[in-house]
Structure 1
Amino acid sequence: PPAGEDAAHSRWDEFVASGLDSYDQTRDLPAVEGTSMMSAYLRWGQVHPRQLLAHLGDGKAHEIFRSELAWRDFYADVLFRSPQSARQNLQHKMDAIRLDTDDAARERFELWATGCTGYPLVDAGMRQLLATGWMHNRVRMIVASFLVKDLHLPWQWGARHFMRHLVDGDLASNQHGWQWAAGTGTDAAPYFRVFNPTAQSKRFDPDGHYIRRWVPELASLTAPHVHEPWTAPHAAASHVRQPMVDHAAERAETLSRYQVAMGR
């Protein structure tokens, strides 16, 4: 987005006029412009959260947006009180989780980082990040879950990659968002919550518009094959990448590792 305080206020005015009232219905859809796009302006101090709060009223959409601003301040407070949480698990009991950090793990990380996992929505998000310095929030959660729970890699690897590329990279929100995905932070997602990248794709990008934009090799595929290109007829699927892991198997492996770590 264009930089500067004037641009920030212009973008906010546009969102209030045409997007805020439907925020609760569109914020999870990466193919549409359903979010405020104010994160970079907040990150760089070109607008203050109180300026945004002053425009919020009643109703579900306004309350959800207000809660998102509250999450931002909450994570800032957590980092202030526990600065070590920028690099370490906030819940130290989770230090016992067995993670993969060998050479093979680093190769898997590179496939994730470059958008070559074979899971279309994951690849779309990672390619959007590299191309634009931004990624839709719903997709951030999905790719984070994939890294820590499908690939069994340290959340710190993903957090570092995000901070290197995000124009709205905020240390507190980023690190603790990753800990939420990994189940190691405050108010974290439970360890048994593992996003299914294919199910998430079908739910939040049902027509595949977001996928086809960022993964052009799948542009000729329509739903449902755009979500699972390996199921497309052979002629159409000959050029598509196979999934790098089997989600069901890796979900079971994740549950086993977390249960062992917690002594269950």
Structure 2
Amino acid sequence: MSAVDDPAPYGTAVVWFRRDLRVRDQPTFLAAADGAARALALFVLDPALLDPSGAPRRTVLYRCLRELDEKLGGRLLVVRGDPADVVPHVAAAVDARQVHAAADFGPYGRTRDEAVEKALAEHGREFVRSGSPYAVAPGRVTKPDGTPYKVFTPFRRAWQQHGWRRPADTDARTVEWLDPDDKHGGPRRTRIPDDDRVEAELPPAGEQVALARWQEFLDDGATAYKRTRDRPDRPGTSRMSVHLKYGTVHPRTLLADLAGRSGDGVESVRSELAWREFYADVLWHRPDSARKNFDRRFDALPSDSGPAADEHFAAWAEGRTGFPIVDAGMRQLREMAWVHNRVRMIVASFLVKDLHLPWQRGARHFMHYLADGDLASNNHGWQWVAGTGTDAAPFFRVFNPVVQGEKFDPEGDYVRRFVPELRDVPGKAVHRPWELPGGPPNGYPRPIVDHAEERRAALDRYEQVRGGSA
């Protein structure tokens, strides 16, 4: 029986999954069930998003899709192509009056969804947005005069005062799912791709492990989070970023679980979620800030280029700068497709202010290798370090990689884990291997730059942006 012959009183709908690969807390399920008797679950493998992604992100995506398909009883239709062509085609194949999806607030997502909405409307079909990947949709929190916040702390206060909905009570049974093999005339079903060849040790993926990891963190890590989150040598972070990236858990779910808890650690966790929402809000108001300086004055900041700059970038990317905390971070990126947040700041500062390379170059490298690569959080985090964005650390704050290593990896355990050449160097001496008798062991390089000299050079360049004014 085709969907056209369906005797159900409300016909069919399409639920289009994007960054919400879960069955719990799904407003789209409720909206679809309210307007239709049955729905087709759809995911589109969009080359515009897949092709620029690195292998770690693609692999995590495929694993999330396989778990979601299993939860839906094998009824997830996966197709490949341009959503503006594919989604209307699928909707026509099942005679769906509505296509339901969570709103996308990114630059590409907004343009894509406008094209899909227009294509659907041409055939009398409706594109319905329900919910978003955020607790509070970007653009909702503004200053009293209606302008967006440019500083995090007042945004966070307004965001908390605004509040958010309770998690939606849904599961796989909320919607009666159509068998995608029963449709007629639609795009051919694509098998969920196998994992890409990834050398990194990727985190477990999917909704089940996301919820389990979150519960583990609530039980064992949330209380101490403020004290431990800056220590890369300890398992003090939640590791929820990859799950939030793919929507295998919604931030609203996390915030609901935090609501009955108190303490500095819990407030710090809530604050980190607010940072994610702040950067999404910034990108909503300033889509150009994904690639360009938010503070356009910094367009005049000189940066290095040419063969020597390329050699410096390669040394940074491969973890052979001679600064152990920097090299450990860059090797962790390759080995785990993830980097501790404190170390992300250290390696970013080193690239921009010690090597005088543009933050965009580092941001692209991170997006290629990170499993949790999120455009808003990644690129605005880089701008925070570079001093070119909203709420930026002042440009003249230059991370000293040696001091940072000694402070946040005091016994050197983090460095020794990722830099095997230094595994026999005891204690904090691992952060200054050039001071060892005979120099760095096992072929580990000496520092490629003098930090003190490059700090002065960075500040001199900053003065050019300021015009020499105090």
TM bin, normalised by shorter chain, reads: over 0.9
Question: 1:172-200: CA deviations, max 9, x gaps?
Answer: 00000000011000000101100000000
Q: Using the alignment, how far apart are the partners of 1:240 and 1:74 within structure 2?
A: 40
Q: Which amino acid aligns with 1:244?
A: I
Tell me the amino acid that sits aligned with residue 241 of structure 1. P
Q: Does residue 102 of the first structure (1) align with residue 301 of the second (2)?
A: no
Asked if structure 2 preserves the Cα contact closer than 8 Å seen for 1:94 and 1:262, the reply is no
The aligned amino acid for 2:246 is W
Distance 2:210 2:242 in 1: 9
Find the counterpart in structure 2 of residue 125 from structure 1: 329
Distance, in Å, in 2 between the alignment partners of 1:243 and 1:210 is 19
1:194 aligns with one of 383, 390, 398: 398
Q: Work out the CA distance in 2 between the residues paired with 1:43 and 1:100.
A: 33
Q: Which has the higher helix share?
A: 1
Query: Which has the higher mean CA deviation after the structures are superposed, 177-186 or 227-236?
Result: 227-236
Q: Are positions 1:50 and 2:252 aligned together? A: yes
* Contact 2:440/2:446 (8 A) holds in 1: no
Q: What do the CA deviations read for 1:97-117 (whole angstroms, capped 9, x no partner)? A: 110122211110000000010
Task: Write the letter of the residue equivalent to 1:85.
Answer: S
**Equivalent position amino acid for 1:65 in 2:** V
1:222, distance to aligned residue in structure 2 (A): 1.2
Aligned residues of 2:225 and 2:237 also touching (Cα < 8 A): yes
In structure 1, the partner of 2:356 is 152
CA RMSD of aligned residues (A): 1.0
Aligned residue among 196, 204, 217 for 1:2: 204
**One-letter identity of the residue aligned with 1:160:** R
- Partner residue in 1 for 2:379: 175
Amino acid of the residue matched to residue 112 of structure 1?
W
Tell me how far 1:224 sits from its aligned partner: 3.2
Determine the structure 1 residue equivalent to 2:103.
none
CA distance in 1, matches of 2:290, 2:274: 19
Contact 2:422 2:430 in 1 (8 A): yes
| 1:41–1:193 distance in 2 versus 1, CA, 3 Å | same
Q: Quote how far apart the aligned CAs of 1:223 are.
A: 2.5
Name which of 294, 297, 300 aligns with 1:93: 297
Q: How far is the alpha carbon of 1:235 from its aligned partner? A: 7.0
2:279 alignment partner, one of 55, 60, 75 = 75
1:36 aligned residue: 238
Q: What TM-score do you get using the length of structure 1 for normalisation?
A: 0.98
Matched AA of 1:231: E
Change in CA separation of 1:243 and 1:148 when aligned onto 2, cut-off 3 Å: same
Amino acid of the structure 2 residue aligned with 1:25: R
Match of 2:431 among 227, 248, 257: 227
Displacement of 1:86 in angstroms is 0.8
Unaligned stretches of 5+ residues in structure 1: none
What's the counterpart of residue 111 of structure 1? Answer: 315
C-alpha separation in 1, matches of 2:278 and 2:439: 51
| 2:337–2:369 contact (8 Å) kept in structure 1 | yes
Contact 2:280–2:376 under 8 Å retained in 1: yes
Deviation, structure 1 residue 31: 1.0
CA contact (8 A) 2:434 2:440 kept: no
| Mean CA deviation greater in 165-174 or 50-59 | 50-59
Q: Is the 8 A contact 2:320 2:444 kept in 1?
A: no
Q: What is the Cα deviation at residue 238 of structure 1?
A: 6.5
Q: Do 2:410 and 2:427's aligned partners in 1 also have CA atoms closer than 8 Å?
A: yes
What is the rounded CA distance, in whole Å, between the counterparts of 1:107 and 1:235 in structure 2?
Answer: 23
**TM-score scaled by length of structure 2:** 0.55
Counterpart CA distance in 2 for 1:236 and 1:152 is 25
Equivalent pair of 2:422/2:442 in contact (CA under 8 Å): no
Greater shift after overlay, 65-74 or 49-58? Answer: 49-58
- 1:185 aligns to what? 389
> How far apart in 2 are the matches of 1:145 and 1:236?
23
- Structure 2 counterpart of 1:16, which letter? L
In structure 1, the residue matched to 2:340 is 136
Give, as a single letter, the amino acid of the residue that structure 2 aligns with 1:115.
G
Deviations 1:181-231 (A, max 9, x none): 110000001011000000000000000000000000000101332000000
Query: Residues of 1 paired with 2:305 and 2:289: CA distance?
Result: 20
Query: C-alpha displacement at 1:248, in angstroms?
Result: 0.4
**Could you list the runs of 5+ residues in structure 2 that have no partner in the other structure?**
1-202
SS at match of 1:35: coil
Q: Which has the larger radius of gyration?
A: 2
Tell me by how many angstroms 1:236 deviates. 6.3
Q: Which has the higher contact order (CA 8 A, sep 6+)?
A: 1
- For 1:187 and 1:17, how far apart are their aligned partners in 2? 32
Task: From the two aligned structures, give the one with the greater strand fraction.
Answer: 2
